[in-house]
Chain A
Amino acid sequence: MAYSNKVIDHYENPRNVGSLPKEDPNVGTGLVGAPECGDVMKLQVKVNPDTGVIDDAKFKTFGCGSAIASSSLATEWLKGKTVDEALAIKNTDIVAELSLPPVKIHCSVLAEDAIKAAIGDYKKKQGKADTAQATAQPTA
């Protein structure tokens, strides 16, 4: 399978790998996917409570190169965005940026799910859980 240069770059130099403290009230964590499906993404955002802007984002991904690249790119895009701006990121934006082939579109969908799950978790912690996001919550 041929990968785009951007996928290879994210795979070889992943941005923002790591973990943020799960218990921090300003940190939202999303864990999506399943091991038996071959991909699991953990995406975390740290929101500045004063500005509502995402100060930091981290990811860890079990998955193919495209899944790693999709989540790495997502963390890059999340930083500096407000929570609402973050929710506007669409999987199709990731597909376009990374030139993902049709068989890898599910990787971008998973990344979008991870963003929604992380923001949903953050909002829940802040006591303003959005029921629309509840479906994106990890069941783990």
Chain B
Amino acid sequence: MAIKLPIYMDYHATTPADPRVVEAMLPYFTEHFGNAASRNHPFGWEAEEAVDTARKQVADLIGANAKEIVFTSGATESNNLAIKGVAEMYREKGNHIITAVTEHKAVIDTCKRLEKEGYRVTYLPVQKNGLISLDDLRNAISDKTILISIMTANNEIGVIQPIAEIGAIAKEKAILFHTDAVQAAGKIPFNVNELKVDLVSISAHKMYGPKGVGALYVRRRNPRVLLAPQIDGGGHERGMRSGTLNVTGIVGMGKAAELCRQEMARDAARLSGLRDRLSERLHTGLDEIFVNGSVEHRLPHSLNISFAYVEGESLLMGINDVAVSSGSACTSASLEPSYVLKALGAGDDLAHSSIRFGLGRWTTEEEVDYVADKLINVVTRLREMSPLYELAKEGVDLSTMQWEVH
């Protein structure tokens, strides 16, 4: 069977919009173009109704009430609003925030900014499996702690943090708990009440919806969470996020959420099967490859592997008809290898050798087999020209060698 190239296997970066999502959105560009804030004519009413439907669809995906959903421009804004909004609103109660070193930049950099403004931030380390230690979390809490922000699933390695356990600790200590659930929402079951989370960031384009729209869940009861708005204006979204609502985007996000809720179990079962097939094929065809992060606590469609002795960018060059990401420094503007992989303590060399595979709704078995075969060929070829592989095969322990670091 002919495979259409290039193959997309980077579903953590973004996902294509589901055609059913696009179909739902289209009338709202032209026919129903009203401003959801126009209260005095049917154009506005139609738009508002569509937004209300979407709000319910998004709320249903995470077990929330529709009134607890605030639409934003995406998860970066949601993370900013949650963290800065809480920090500003609860400043009198305390100035301490707890997060983790493997969080997305939208959380880390937001916390860094707050540090400049006098807040104190604890960045919890992670264990070798990518998960935080609950003891570390407990020890970090002080009477000044106002917020814990720990992501549900990591964007690079796909590991799932113990959110329910963190939620229980936060509840016990009466500290607000925010989670960036961008990679998890729509992919694995997620219920705000079971997990005891107070704020949740989600994004439409990671779950087969359009780009440029996201949401923040803000708990209304037990406790009622208050946020200082970060964008001032017409007082939209219960005063928490001003700005004319992106009705088409919101409709798309709602439809995407509904589809994820209905198809999650089937998608997850199919994708974890394909993901395991990819992993098994690679492990059969190659020695010295390592899965980064917990295998057990992992999103069904995620796989991050380090191919020892082979540098990530040269690997990507060899599979240039496959779209994946690497933790290699050479693929990033900063020339620094992935801070997430470094945090696992696997060593910078393995961070340079990593590939992130993200499978999704349209990934096929043929594609998985093609990618596995191609990688085995390329890794084998690159190892033949790798001085590190040669040294390792000669029995040299690379970690004890003295390198001239520049």
Q: Footprint of B on A, CB under 8 Å?
A: 1, 3, 8, 11, 14, 17, 19, 31-42, 59-65, 67-68, 103, 138-140
Q: Are A35 and B314 in contact (CB under 8 A)?
A: no
A139 touches which of B330, B385, B388, B402 (Cβ 8 Å): B402
Cα A78 to Cα B383 with chains together (Å): 23
Leading 3 A-B pairs by shortest Cβ distance: A34-B403, A36-B348, A35-B349
Q: Are B404 and A62 in contact (CB under 8 A)?
A: no
B337 at the interface (CB under 8 A from A): yes
Cα A12 to Cα B299 with chains together (Å): 35
A40 touching B328 in the complex, CB below 8 Å, given contacts A35-B352, A35-B403, A65-B313:
no
Q: Which of B274-317 contact A (CB under 8 A)?
A: 309-314, 317
- Can you sample 22 A-B contacts with CB below 8 Å? A3-B317, A17-B385, A33-B404, A33-B406, A34-B403, A34-B406, A35-B348, A36-B403, A38-B328, A38-B329, A38-B337, A38-B348, A40-B403, A41-B387, A42-B387, A60-B387, A61-B385, A62-B310, A62-B388, A64-B330, A67-B311, A68-B385
B3 at the interface (CB under 8 A from A): no
Residue numbers in B under 8 Å from A64 (CB-CB): 311, 313-314, 317, 328, 330
Residue numbers in A under 8 Å from B384 (CB-CB): 17
Residue numbers in B under 8 Å from A34 (CB-CB): 403-406
B13 at the interface (CB under 8 A from A): no
Over the window 362-394 of chain B, the binary record of Cβ atoms lying under 8 Å from chain A Cβ atoms (1 yes, 0 no) is: 000000000000000000000011111110000
Q: Are B328 and A60 in contact (CB under 8 A)?
A: no
Residue numbers in B under 8 Å from A33 (CB-CB): 403-404, 406
Residue numbers in B under 8 Å from A38 (CB-CB): 311-312, 328-330, 337, 348-349, 352
Distance from B402 Cβ to chain A, minimum over Cβ atoms (Å): 5
Distance from B131 Cβ to chain A, minimum over Cβ atoms (Å): 24
B403 touches which of A59, A65, A140 (Cβ 8 Å): A140
Distance from A68 Cβ to chain B, minimum over Cβ atoms (Å): 6
**Most chain B Cβ neighbours within 10 Å, of A34, A38, A140:** A38
Distance from B240 Cβ to chain A, minimum over Cβ atoms (Å): 40
Residue numbers in B under 8 Å from A39 (CB-CB): 311
Cα A62 to Cα B330 with chains together (Å): 12
Since A14-B385, A32-B404, A65-B314 are in contact, a sample of 19 more A-B pairs with Cβ atoms closer than 8 Å, ordered by chain A residue number, is A1-B313, A11-B318, A34-B405, A35-B348, A35-B349, A36-B403, A37-B348, A38-B329, A39-B311, A40-B403, A62-B388, A67-B311, A68-B314, A68-B385, A103-B335, A138-B404, A139-B402, A139-B403, A140-B403
Residue numbers in B under 8 Å from A37 (CB-CB): 329, 348, 403, 405-406
Task: Give B313's nearest chain A residue, CB to CB.
Answer: A64
Distance from B338 Cβ to chain A, minimum over Cβ atoms (Å): 11
A63 touches which of B314, B337, B390, B401 (Cβ 8 Å): B314
Cα A38 to Cα B352 with chains together (Å): 6
Residue numbers in A under 8 Å from B385 (CB-CB): 14, 17, 59-61, 68
Q: Which of B44-88 contact A (CB under 8 A)?
A: none
Q: Are A60 and B386 in contact (CB under 8 A)?
A: yes
Residue numbers in A under 8 Å from B349 (CB-CB): 35-36, 38
Cα A41 to Cα B406 with chains together (Å): 13
Distance from A137 Cβ to chain B, minimum over Cβ atoms (Å): 9
Distance from B389 Cβ to chain A, minimum over Cβ atoms (Å): 8
Cα A112 to Cα B329 with chains together (Å): 21
Residue numbers in B under 8 Å from A19 (CB-CB): 390
B174 at the interface (CB under 8 A from A): no
Over the window 147-179 of chain B, the binary record of Cβ atoms lying under 8 Å from chain A Cβ atoms (1 yes, 0 no) is: 000000000000000000000000000000000
Distance from B324 Cβ to chain A, minimum over Cβ atoms (Å): 14
Cα A33 to Cα B404 with chains together (Å): 6
Q: Are B388 and A35 in contact (CB under 8 A)?
A: yes
Residue numbers in B under 8 Å from A14 (CB-CB): 385
Distance from A132 Cβ to chain B, minimum over Cβ atoms (Å): 17
Q: Are B317 and A140 in contact (CB under 8 A)?
A: no
**Most chain A Cβ neighbours within 10 Å, of B390, B401, B403, B405:** B403
**Most chain A Cβ neighbours within 10 Å, of B330, B387, B390:** B387
Residue numbers in B under 8 Å from A3 (CB-CB): 317
Task: Give B336's nearest chain A residue, CB to CB.
Answer: A38
Q: Are B390 and A140 in contact (CB under 8 A)?
A: no
B195 at the interface (CB under 8 A from A): no
Cα A32 to Cα B331 with chains together (Å): 21
A11 touching B348 in the complex, CB below 8 Å, given contacts A35-B398, A38-B330, A61-B387:
no
B234 at the interface (CB under 8 A from A): no
B347 at the interface (CB under 8 A from A): yes
Cα A60 to Cα B314 with chains together (Å): 13
A62 touching B317 in the complex, CB below 8 Å, given contacts A35-B398, A36-B405, A38-B330:
no
